[in-house]
């Protein structure tokens, strides 16, 4: 297997200040262990991360930006999910 045949891995890093992992980029590696080590070296060089995840790109399923209107349309007909649907009683503070 040559380096051009290595699978693509998506890298997620949790920063020291953050609570959640954010997508940092992608890299090619032959296996998960090497992908994790390479991600650490490539995306946390300045000690900005406390946790790294690597996920095979083939394991990620995403919605298509071209279908965003039809994909997210069902949420638009549920006004009760938005705070504007409720009336705030007088006297309620800091809501």
* pLDDT (0 to 100) of residue 61: 93
Domain count, the chain: 1
Angle CA(52)–CA(54)–CA(58) in degrees, nearest 5?
A: 160
36 vs 1 pLDDT, higher one: 36
pLDDT, tens only, 3-38: 679 999 999 999 877 789 999 999 999 999 999 999
Cβ–Cβ < 8 Å for 28, 6: yes
pLDDT, tens only, 59-92: 999 988 898 877 777 666 776 666 776 677 888 8
Looking up residue 42, the CATH number of its domain turns out to be 3.10.20.520
Q: Which residue segment(s) compose the domain that 11 sits in?
A: 3-85
Residue 93 included in any domain:
no
Residue 92 included in any domain:
no
* pLDDT (0 to 100) of residue 70: 77
* pLDDT (0 to 100) of residue 86: 67
């Amino acid at each position: 297997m040559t380096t051009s045949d290595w699978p693509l891995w998506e890298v997620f890093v949790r920063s020291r200040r953050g609570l959640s992992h954010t997508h940092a980029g992608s890299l090619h590696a032959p296996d998960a262990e090497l992908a994790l080590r390479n991600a650490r070296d490539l995306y946390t060089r300045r000690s900005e991360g406390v946790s790294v995840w690597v996920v095979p790109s083939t394991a990620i399923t995403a919605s298509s930006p071209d279908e965003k209107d039809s994909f997210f349309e069902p949420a638009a007909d549920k006004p009760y999910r938005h705070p504007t649907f409720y009336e705030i009683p007088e006297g309620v503070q800091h809501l």
